[in-house]
Amino acid sequence: MDKHRIGILTGGGDCAGINPAIKWIVKTALDKRLASERNIQYEVVGIRNGWQGLIDIDPTGPDAQGNIVPLNEAQVRTWDRYGGTNLGTSRTNPYDPHNDRSKVLIENLEKLGLDTLIVIGGDDTLGVAFKLAKEGINVVGIPKTIDRDLPGTDYTLGFETAMNVIVEGVDRLRTTAGSHQRTFVVETMGRNSGWLALEGGASSGAYIILIPEYDFSIEKVNELVLEGRRSGARYDIIIVAEGAKPLGGIEFVRNGSVDSFGHKALSGVAEFVAEAIHEGTGRETRSMVLSHLQRGGVPCAYDRRMGRYFGIAAVDLVVMKDFGKMVSYRHGKITAIPIEDALRGSRLVDVETEYDVERYNGRRTILRPSK
């Protein structure tokens, strides 16, 4: 009987849906029917703390275990009920030009006897997986990012739960906003892509939605706020993605630091918009940054279900030896694409078809073509 060792790794920012995917990778790979029907037996191990765990495989953690953890069905039975990643994660770039540790990582893959690596991550993590695939490592990818900005897939794990957090947050803000007749500016994640702000804002009934794909005029924002008040609105909810910019401006950077993939930490646009509204309209305005609340909490039903489907499909790719692929959801079906296809830029909001540039909100036409 053939034996095959699978490693599971999660990298980048955490989100809901990862643990359900891990659970179903383990359950599917350890299904006894694979042994009886295909004469193959799988062993599954988890790698703690993302790529960092594959670089430092020997150190002992606080629970007296190293970074390599055997996984079985009993161990992961309840994992689909939890958010985040029980394996831990990191923003480590093994191919960092200032500290390239890719050779160590590849040597450790060989030491561990890993035949396949299933990688759950966004563009940075999958970018590393693609480089490993080019070096002959058997890899399979699962997409996860609350930004839902990976090309080649209509869904990424974590998006729906994060959107639910936005809706719940706005619902809670409405009572205090209405009581005090205030304008609230809520900042969501979304560095280059405005999907989370746009769909979260549309689902929560936000009055104005500002996205990175379309630079906004603060004068126009103020006009819309005053127009709403003249029409009888007691309060306003404005959703703004962290990467949104005013006309002629630049993105708002929290500090000058960058991670090992070269990303700056963004924050501050909500505060800027709130202050500009107060100055331009005289209306009492507050800002709020949802930040990591969007990543946290238990996965919603949709992320549990998609985590299950993605996990099962990842093992299918392993069984078929169809490596170098990422599980994808396209046009209502689970499929797979080459990992490199998910790295061709970002999946952005199409302003022509998805955004109302006059009202700074979601589109107002669905069946008829927009002007």
Domain that holds residue 321: 2-157+299-343
Q: Which residues pair with 253 in a beta bridge?
A: 266
**192 and 269 belong to one structural domain:** yes
Q: Is the pLDDT assigned to residue 44 strictly greater than 60?
A: yes
202 part of a folded domain: yes
pLDDT-derived band at 47 (thresholds 50, 70, 90) equals very high
Cα–Cα distance for residue pair 253/250, rounded to 1 Å? 9
**196 and 309 belong to one structural domain:** no
Cβ proximity of 186 and 288 under 8 Å? yes
Mean pLDDT of the chain: 93
Region 119-142: mean pLDDT is 98
**43 and 135 belong to one structural domain:** yes
370 part of a folded domain: no
**11 and 143 belong to one structural domain:** yes
Triad 293, 298, 304: Cα angle to 5°: 125
**256 and 198 belong to one structural domain:** yes
**98 and 233 belong to one structural domain:** no
**93 and 128 belong to one structural domain:** yes
Cβ proximity of 138 and 5 under 8 Å? no
Q: Which residues contact 262 (CB under 8 A, 6 or more apart)?
A: none
User: Is 147 a known active-site residue?
Assistant: yes
pLDDT-derived band at 86 (thresholds 50, 70, 90) equals very high
56 part of a folded domain: yes
185 part of a folded domain: yes
Question: Which residue among 123, 147, 236, 303 is the active-site one?
Answer: 147
Cβ proximity of 124 and 260 under 8 Å? no
Domain boundary among 296, 319, 353: 296
Give residue-wise pLDDT tens across range 140-171: 999 999 999 999 999 999 999 999 999 999 99
Tokens matching residue 341: 């296809």
What is the predicted pLDDT for the residue at 24? 99
Residue 194: CATH number of its domain: 3.40.50.460
